Amino acid sequence: MTLTKKPESRPAPASWGLAAGEHPWEYAPAPEATDHIRIEPEYGLFIGNEFRPSKPRKTFTVINPATEEPLARVAHASKADVNRAVGAAHEAHRTVWSKLPGRERAKYLYRIARIMQERSREFAVVESMNSGKPIKESRDVDVPLAAAHFFYYAGWADKLEYAFPNRDPRSLGVAAQVIPWNFPLLMLAWKIAPALAAGNTVVLKPASTTPLTAYLFADVVRQADLPPGVVNIITGPGEIGMELVTHPDVSKVAFTGSTAVGKMIARAVAGSGKKVTLELGGKAANIVFDDAPLDQAIEGIVNGIYFNQGEVCCAGSRLFVQESVYEPLLDKLKARLGTLRVGDPLDKNTDVGAINSAGQLAKVQELVESGIEEGAEIFQPDCELPTRGFFFRPTLFTGVSQSHRIAQEEIFGPVLSVLTFRTPEEAIEKANNTPYGLSAGVWTEKGSRIFKMVNAMRAGVVWANTFNRFDPTSPFGGYKESGYGREGGIHGLGAYLDLSGNGTNGR
Amino acid sequence: MSPRTKTAARSTKGASVLDQRAAQPLATTNGARSQGDRIGVRKTYKLYIGGAFPRTESGRAYEVFGAKGELLANASRGTRKDIREAVRAARKAQSGWGAKTAYNRAQILYRIAELMEGRRDQFVAEVMAAEGLSRARATRAVDAAIDRWVWYAGWADKYPQLIGTVNPVAGSYFNFSVPEPTGVVGVIAPEESSLLGLVSRVAPVIVSGNAAVVIASESRPLPAVTLTEVLATSDVPGGVVNLVTGLRRELVGHLAGHMDVNALDAFGASADEAATLEEVAVENVKRFVRPPSAGLARYDWMADAAQSPYLIGEYVEIKTVWHPIGA
């Protein structure tokens, strides 16, 4: 922590009868057991249903961001490995997967969903150890949603003609999928489930800091007896991802990550004819009107920006509060921040876990510094942080103006910028004043106002009186520089099919 | 309509199909004048931006020749600045157009068909001159273009029911996804099919509420300019369709790279052109529609496959809305 200003301490109200310095919410530690978890010392690349070392043999270390302790070494793929993985996927598509009737593909996907449910605790614990996210989130959100995605798309595999009537839906071939570190398993499921349902085979590259649940998933693939080569998983740095997406035998590219990298990928594959979907950055507006139920809104704001340490592309990182409720809302919000428990991701009471990496923590710190330097006022609860690991206090800034970097740039951390507005028109104007357009939130009791705001938001997902909800049936994706294409629902299925049979170019 | 009667009357040996035209491009008045014939009034082919017909800011023109090599007219040689003006006009017009009811947009698209029908002979003559088609084939192309507006008009209040969904989420939420116009869409009109190709690409862009900036066919721009005269009188608000004529190599890159254009239809571009444009379009993550993989040369604009509600879907964004269910 290199903040130039000391975190503000907020004493509990006198009516609570606490002694000076006593924390209002004391919890005994409640750590999730890890003794049933087996993490291999080393993971090879998963190609053709086998773990193989990279060629040349090279590994890198994956750590637990909450302890900075090493968890495992994983293979560092080379260009030759990319060729092997794509080759395996290409062969599997040609000889097996594209010929398999949809109803049989479906059963494989159902198997995967079931095995993930059976092994859910194992997935949740490894996910929290590797990513730093609180166990209650990986257990209650990431893992069940990932299994649900497979279950949902399993059912589409033999119904493609009903999904796209008169469009002669066909699989594309090999899908190259590059995913981020914030929802390692969930993003894997968002990518692999629709790809397989549509009849494609995949080569997936997880983020280099969070490959462990992907390799655990590889074991699920083996348990489900998927034909070799249908799912391949390789690990390595960004350059390997670039080799993968530009490979000539890849027909579909799906990327989730930063807008900058998304643009690099889109440029690299321009003119190749590959079908592309991009799910990129965001800077969502969360708009609270004066008639909103404030206590609910507080929970929505907290869930919007502190869920997964704010490392969420659709995080509600810009809070717009109608001026007439600004003060009561801020008081409640600051008090609520004081009750957030920051610490061990494996503790069941933890609300905010570890930032995923030292590099990401440095980026968050740098942007927070910029907020202070540009004149915004910082508030952080006076909570204790673990001495090791990459932790950051839940933070909010008031006095933020539209031009501040913290109001413009995606921070991808637990940092909220609070701005105000007077009229709905002003809120619309300010909320849309960003190159991003992934998500937005609206809080008001007035139904007609909800729909006015919903219509006006240039964003792909709008949550009204809720925030950060996800479901396999519900399309997710951005407007403008937040990307194109949708994941989830029938729209997400279409993104993995050649639909050029009737008039469109089938992007 | 006296001009048409006049031109028809002075049809002489060796006169081209242009003599049948209601409008008066250069070529119609280049031939020998019959005795007692009046001097024809030629049309200046200008740009169409924000509902007005400005000349290009370059003050320059280029010669447009017919299929037989005869000079048809001078067309405006538009510039980067004209593209910018067109994008500005489109952005200004888009929100109002997108906010109109689907029923209203349907009627306006249908109105375009009505007015084209009234100028059918003029369009036939212009397409014959531009594309070197027989009268019968040009007539079929014009009729198909008119019918295409009628077809898309009908989709305005139907395509959302085809593309939108209600999503049965596993929780107590009402969840639905609706299409919305992407915003400002650049269209690179096909080079060969001067009218039908153009209409086939522009109609699905604007029917959902987008505004378009169109770069006309370079070698065959005149039917496109005449189409803008129809648009100007069809209750299509100014700025919803903007047309820039000129040399494509001077224009397409600026449209593809413009930061306030949300999508680019490069269906009408050549494969080489499209690869470069796709890369340029990445700058602001434009939605990009590529040329057909088999190339445009043998693309059949008359076919049913050249029109599709899913084409409308290329220029919309899917917005998903969540709302809790509770008392």
Is there a contact between B313 and A480 if contact means CB atoms under 8 Å apart?
no
Q: Is the pLDDT of residue A501 over 80?
A: no
Of the pLDDT bands very low, low, confident and very high (cuts 50, 70, 90), residue B37 is confident
**Within a domain: residue B11?**
no
Percent of chain A scoring above 90 in pLDDT: 92
Q: What is the mean pLDDT of residues A229-253?
A: 98
- Write out A57-92 in H/E/C secondary structure: CCEEEEECCCCCCEEEEEECCCHHHHHHHHHHHHHH
More confident residue, A378 or A2: A378
Which residue do the tokens 């990986």 mark?
A: A138
Whole-number Å distance between alpha carbons of A226 and A220: 9
Residue A166 pLDDT = 85
C-alpha to C-alpha distances, A395 to A21, A66, A302, A383, nearest whole angstrom = 21, 19, 11, 11
Is there a contact between A278 and B279 if contact means CB atoms under 8 Å apart?
no
Q: What is the mean pLDDT of residues A182-203?
A: 98
CA distance, residue B126 to nearest chain A CA (Å): 27
Is there a contact between A475 and B165 if contact means CB atoms under 8 Å apart?
yes
Which residue do the tokens 């240039």 mark?
A: A458
Q: How many CA atoms lie within 13 A of B128 on its CB side?
A: 19
Q: Where are the domains of chain A?
A: 42-280+480-498, 282-464
CA distance, residue A123 to nearest chain B CA (Å): 21
C-alpha to C-alpha distances, A20 to A10, A23, A393, A436, nearest whole angstrom = 11, 9, 22, 45
Of the pLDDT bands very low, low, confident and very high (cuts 50, 70, 90), residue A25 is low
Residues of B with Cβ-Cβ distance to A505 under 8 angstroms = 267, 289-292, 314
- Reading the block at residue B326, the tokens are 């509770």
**Within a domain: residue B30?**
no
Q: Is the pLDDT of residue A369 over 60?
A: yes
Residues of A with Cβ-Cβ distance to B171 under 8 angstroms = 469, 471
Is there a contact between B293 and A500 if contact means CB atoms under 8 Å apart?
yes
Most confident of A3-12, A266-275, B28-37: A266-275
Domain A42-280+480-498: give its CATH code. 3.40.605.10
- Reading the block at residue A488, the tokens are 């989830």
Residues of A with Cβ-Cβ distance to B98 under 8 angstroms = none
Residue B295 pLDDT = 87
- Reading the block at residue B166, the tokens are 């209600």
CA distance, residue A139 to nearest chain B CA (Å): 17
The domain tally of chain B equals 1
Q: How many CB pairs under 8 A join A and B?
A: 130
CATH superfamily ID and name for A282-464: Aldehyde Dehydrogenase; Chain A, domain 2 (3.40.309.10)
Q: What is the mean pLDDT of residues B124-136?
A: 97
Residues of A with Cβ-Cβ distance to B165 under 8 angstroms = 475, 489-491
Residue B215 pLDDT = 98
Q: Is the pLDDT of residue B224 over 50?
A: yes
Is there a contact between B285 and A454 if contact means CB atoms under 8 Å apart?
no
Residues of A with Cβ-Cβ distance to B311 under 8 angstroms = 503-504
Note down the domain range covering B293: 76-324
Is there a contact between A484 and B321 if contact means CB atoms under 8 Å apart?
no
Residues of A with Cβ-Cβ distance to B307 under 8 angstroms = 503
Q: Nearest chain A Cα to B302, which residue?
A: A503
Nearest to B267 among A450, A455, A505 (CB): A505
Q: Name which of A1-10, A217-226, A278-287, B45-54 the model is least confident about.
A: A1-10
Q: Nearest chain A Cα to B308, which residue?
A: A503
Nearest to A475 among B281, B308, B318 (CB): B318
CA distance, residue B99 to nearest chain A CA (Å): 10
Is there a contact between B283 and A491 if contact means CB atoms under 8 Å apart?
no
Nearest to A489 among B177, B313, B321 (CB): B177
CA distance, residue A85 to nearest chain B CA (Å): 27
pLDDT in tens, A278-310: 999 999 999 999 999 999 999 999 999 999 999
pLDDT in tens, B49-87: 999 999 999 999 999 999 889 999 999 999 999 999 999
Strands, E, within chain B: which ranges?
61-65, 71-76, 165-166, 173-181, 184-188, 211-215, 241-244, 263-265, 287-289, 316-324
Of the pLDDT bands very low, low, confident and very high (cuts 50, 70, 90), residue A428 is very high
CATH code (residue B232): 3.40.605.10
Quick one: how far is CA A118 from the chain centroid? 23
Percent of chain B scoring above 90 in pLDDT: 83
CA distance, residue B40 to nearest chain A CA (Å): 43
CA distance, residue B281 to nearest chain A CA (Å): 9
Domain A42-280+480-498 shares a fold with domain A282-464 = no
Q: What's the complex ipTM?
A: 0.94
Of the pLDDT bands very low, low, confident and very high (cuts 50, 70, 90), residue A17 is confident
Residue A27 pLDDT = 79
Is there a contact between A503 and B279 if contact means CB atoms under 8 Å apart?
no
Strands, E, within A194-343: which ranges?
201-205, 231-233, 250-256, 275-279, 285-288, 318-322
Nearest to B177 among A435, A475, A500 (CB): A475
Residues of B with Cβ-Cβ distance to A280 under 8 angstroms = 285
Residue A66 amino acid letter: A
Residue A9 pLDDT = 56
pLDDT in tens, B283-307: 999 999 999 988 898 899 999 889 9
DSSP H helical ranges for A199-293 = 212-223, 238-246, 259-269
Q: Is the pLDDT of residue B24 over 60?
A: no
Residue B26 pLDDT = 47
Residue B3 pLDDT = 38
Residues of A with Cβ-Cβ distance to B324 under 8 angstroms = 464-466
Whole-number Å distance between alpha carbons of A301 and B310: 37
**Within a domain: residue B111?**
yes
Is there a contact between B320 and A263 if contact means CB atoms under 8 Å apart?
no
Catalytic residue from among A137, A279, A481, A487: A279
Contact A277, A485 (CB under 8 A): yes
Instruction: Report the mean per-residue pLDDT for chain A.
Output: 95
Is there a contact between B322 and A461 if contact means CB atoms under 8 Å apart?
yes
Is there a contact between A473 and B321 if contact means CB atoms under 8 Å apart?
no
Phi, psi dihedral angles at A441 (to 5 degrees): -135, 145
Of the pLDDT bands very low, low, confident and very high (cuts 50, 70, 90), residue A504 is very low
Which residue do the tokens 């709302």 mark?
A: B323
Whole-number Å distance between alpha carbons of A52 and B237: 63
Residues of B with Cβ-Cβ distance to A297 under 8 angstroms = none
Instruction: Tell me whether residue A425 is one of the annotated catalytic residues.
Output: no
Instruction: Tell me whether residue A279 is one of the annotated catalytic residues.
Output: yes
Catalytic residue from among A122, A127, A137, A313: A313
The burial class, CB within 10 Å (0-12 / 13-18 / 19+), for A258 is: middle
Of the pLDDT bands very low, low, confident and very high (cuts 50, 70, 90), residue A266 is very high
pLDDT in tens, B200-209: 999 999 999 9
Residue A161 pLDDT = 96
Nearest to B285 among A278, A457, A507 (CB): A278
- Most B CBs within 10 Å, among A479, A481, A486, A507, to test the B interface: A479
Q: What is the mean pLDDT of residues B92-102?
A: 98
Residue B293 pLDDT = 85
Is there a contact between A507 and B314 if contact means CB atoms under 8 Å apart?
yes
**Within a domain: residue B131?**
yes
**Within a domain: residue B35?**
no
Q: How many CA atoms lie within 13 A of A308 on its CB side?
A: 25
Q: How many CA atoms lie within 13 A of A415 on its CB side?
A: 30
Which residue do the tokens 């000076």 mark?
A: A20
Residues of B with Cβ-Cβ distance to A486 under 8 angstroms = 318
